[in-house]
Structure 1
Amino acid sequence: MVIADAPARAIVFFGDGLMEFVSPSHSHLHALAASGACGFLALRNLPSYMDNMSRSIFEMQQLLDVHDFGKAGIIETSSKNNVTTTALTPPSIAERFMGMKAAIITNSEPIANLGENLGFMLNNSKVGLHFSEPHVSNSVPQLASSAQVASELLELLGLGSQPLKESNNCELVLVHVTAGSGTDDAVARSCIDWIDSIVGEVKNLMQPGTKADDHLYLTLVFSYGVKAASDVSLNNLELHRQQVFDSLQTNLRVHCPQQSYKMKDGKLVIDVRDHHPMLVVHQMNGVTRRDHVSSLDFDDFLKNGCNLSILADRFLHELAFKLWKAPKYGA
């Protein structure tokens, strides 16, 4: 039974660039997708020069809604005698979301730096997770015991065995795992196996009557690696079917509205791609809807998911709303 005596606390599991390695053996990921509300997070077109490491940062900036700051780069302020240049720094997550306390756990040092710059607390030491070597493609990362990690995650959120203290605990923990810039499939599989195992351990700890069962909001986010995301020939991974538009009579095409995931703040975002989005699952007992999705799979989400697509920039705002830290955005 869900008790609304306190805000929810969230864990986001982000399998960065790991979507193509999801297999039927990842039963805990599929079970979470089957019990939650599933949809897509639309991303911008990937520049051709990017490798997996730069793609990871590029997409994380969108997920945390700071992409526009990076694109703007600098602000120039003119005066009578000189021109001063000031770095454009995004506000911290606490400043954006009513003092929200957030932590990040990641095996990527660049992502850790990005998170800390945005006000996330780095908590790798809590779970014994180490940074992966960014240029070693055949090095399986050092991953801590999934049972230990699951327990520590709940403690960070105040949903473990200790009393819940709103002033001391995190409200959001982002667990980010990537295979880095390497191309070795074994590395990617070890990463996704680890996420699958942690999800299973967390669910085991969510026994009826526990704080975790009453207050834990679970989210899965999975994205595609640079090789897959750059292959626009994979038409079966498109969000919006071009042939539907092409089938319209010419005089009707001008009346075809823009997809909402291509809009931000009332303006058209011109570089959003129609293929290889992030897949996202939201699940909280007694709170989130349950659709007809049965597995963590693009086609299943497209046919049976209830959340359709939103721009990745809106993800954090939607999640903050669930944690009582932001007003509702959209319908």
Structure 2
Amino acid sequence: MADKPSRALVLFGDGLARFIDPSHIHLHSLASAGFCGFLSLPDCPLSDSEDERIVREFAVLLDAYETYLNMSEHNTDKDSQRNLMKQSLPNRFMGMKAAILSNNSSLKSFSAKLGFHTLQLDELLRAHDADLQVNVEALELLKLLGFQEGEVVDNQFDVVFFHIGAGEKVNSNESEVIAADVEYANALVSGIICQAQPGSDISSRLHLSVVLSFGNVLNDDDTKFSVSKSFDENSYLSKLFPSQSYTMKGETPRADVRHHSPMLIAQLRHGVTRKDNAEKFSFEDFKEHGGNLTIPADRFLHEVAFKLWKAPKYGA
């Protein structure tokens, strides 16, 4: 158990999980040093637009899916507005101060209603076509959490989310956009890790989470990226097969669990997070060697808030 609360940086690579390859050495290095696993999502509506998918999945990550649904139904009565205030992050997590960086206007609007400070990428971050510039941007992100010049100072925010993906970096064709986003995420991880070397003041307080989603589900994803334990449903032993924890909410089975295409997550705070046997940032390696297995995505923020001393422990 840490003797001081963490300050959390969450890099959220929207739709980037399927495009990681062996050249992304900094993401793989993080996976080999950290604690890895999956965040399961609910089934997605077939009618979702890309913008709706982005906001919906982020809402799940914040355990704010019901709030998202209420907002989607354009409820403007006083009860709905009071409920929205109750669901804000400061109200739910002991005054938590949170910020988000994104170029997606819908995501920024939704986050602001949940109490996030929305920051403009263009104001904080400049061009990022060189490793040196990415390192500067890593420093700027860490400053938001009170990590400055190798020291820990009074912080502006407890947690900062950086949304990367959905074509925020390049105005070009889809393959070039995705390649630029993945390369950027890989370089940014390197810049952050360089500032949080073991034994440093920053490493003792920074809780880094890298979350990569699959984005839109493709036809064969249910077989390629399944997290479900397989067993013979016709066997008389099938009734003895326990429900996996990610399919449950308390003692009640979840009705809309998607058993494939989860978010991939690697987390690191030196001396606090455990180390598992994963060596690569990949679905296959996380499934075989990850220590965090699969948890519902709506539990993610509760786990992070616990590290910030803003929530009680969830689970074991």
Band the TM-score falls in, shorter-chain normalisation: 0.7 to 0.9
What is aligned with 2:305? Answer: 320
**Equivalent in 276, 281, 291 of residue 266 of structure 2:** 281
Query: How far is the alpha carbon of 1:144 from its aligned partner?
Result: 11
Q: How does 1:86-101 map to 2 (within 5 A)?
A: 86-87=80-81, 88-89=83-84, 91-101=87-97
For 1:8 and 1:16, the matched residues in 2 are separated by 24
SS in 2 for 1:195: helix
Query: How far is the alpha carbon of 1:53 from its aligned partner?
Result: 2.2
**Equivalent in 110, 115, 135 of residue 114 of structure 1:** 110
Query: How far is the alpha carbon of 1:266 from its aligned partner?
Result: 3.1
> 1:100 touches 1:171 (CA, 8 Å); kept in 2?
yes
**Equivalent in 207, 222, 226 of residue 212 of structure 2:** 222
For 1:274 and 1:39, the matched residues in 2 are separated by 14
CA deviation vs aligned residue, 1:230-266 (integer Å, no higher than 9, x gap)? 4255413100134x143x62x3323333221112243
For 1:235 and 1:169, the matched residues in 2 are separated by 44
Q: How does 1:72-151 map to 2 (within 5 A)?
A: 86-87=80-81, 88-89=83-84, 91-124=87-120, 127-128=124-125, 145-151=133-139
Partner AA of 1:193 in structure 2: E
CA deviation vs aligned residue, 1:95-126 (integer Å, no higher than 9, x gap)? 11111111111121111112111111112355
Query: How far is the alpha carbon of 1:195 from its aligned partner?
Result: 1.1
Q: How does 1:130-209 map to 2 (within 5 A)?
A: 145-161=133-149, 164-166=152-154, 168-180=155-167, 184-209=174-199
CA deviation vs aligned residue, 1:57-78 (integer Å, no higher than 9, x gap)? 11111001111233356799xx
For 1:231 and 1:51, the matched residues in 2 are separated by 17
CA deviation vs aligned residue, 1:249-284 (integer Å, no higher than 9, x gap)? 2x3323333221112243221111111000011111
> 2:222 touches 2:259 (CA, 8 Å); kept in 1?
no
Query: How far is the alpha carbon of 1:162 from its aligned partner?
Result: 8.1
Percent identity of equivalent pairs: 37
Change (3 A) 1:221 1:34: same
For 2:260 and 2:189, the matched residues in 1 are separated by 27
For 2:212 and 2:221, the matched residues in 1 are separated by 20
SS in 1 for 2:180: helix
Q: Count the aligned residue pairs.
A: 307
Partner AA of 1:171 in structure 2: D
> 2:64 touches 2:87 (CA, 8 Å); kept in 1?
no
CA deviation vs aligned residue, 1:151-173 (integer Å, no higher than 9, x gap)? 1111111111286444x421111
SS in 2 for 1:301: helix
For 2:258 and 2:232, the matched residues in 1 are separated by 16
SS in 1 for 2:295: strand
Partner AA of 2:20 in structure 1: V
Query: How far is the alpha carbon of 1:146 from its aligned partner?
Result: 1.1
**Equivalent in 55, 58, 67 of residue 60 of structure 1:** 58
**Equivalent in 276, 285, 295 of residue 280 of structure 2:** 295
What is aligned with 2:229? Answer: 241
SS in 2 for 1:145: helix
Matched, 1:212 2:212: no
What runs of 5+ residues in structure 2 fail to find an aligned partner? Answer: none
What is aligned with 2:247? Answer: 262
Matched, 1:9 2:7: yes
CA deviation vs aligned residue, 1:185-211 (integer Å, no higher than 9, x gap)? 110111111111111011111245532
What is aligned with 2:18? Answer: 20
Which range moves more in the overlay, 207-216 or 318-327? 207-216
What is aligned with 2:37? Answer: 39
Query: How far is the alpha carbon of 1:179 from its aligned partner?
Result: 2.1
> 1:29 touches 1:199 (CA, 8 Å); kept in 2?
yes
CA deviation vs aligned residue, 1:273-329 (integer Å, no higher than 9, x gap)? 111000011111111111111111101000000110011000000111111111011
Aligned Cα root-mean-square deviation (Å): 2.8
Change (3 A) 1:160 1:245: farther
**TM-score with structure 1 setting the length:** 0.84
> 1:15 touches 1:222 (CA, 8 Å); kept in 2?
yes
SS in 1 for 2:237: helix
For 1:85 and 1:324, the matched residues in 2 are separated by 30
> 2:152 touches 2:202 (CA, 8 Å); kept in 1?
no
SS in 2 for 1:214: coil
> 1:146 touches 1:198 (CA, 8 Å); kept in 2?
yes
For 1:42 and 1:7, the matched residues in 2 are separated by 27
> 1:293 touches 1:305 (CA, 8 Å); kept in 2?
yes
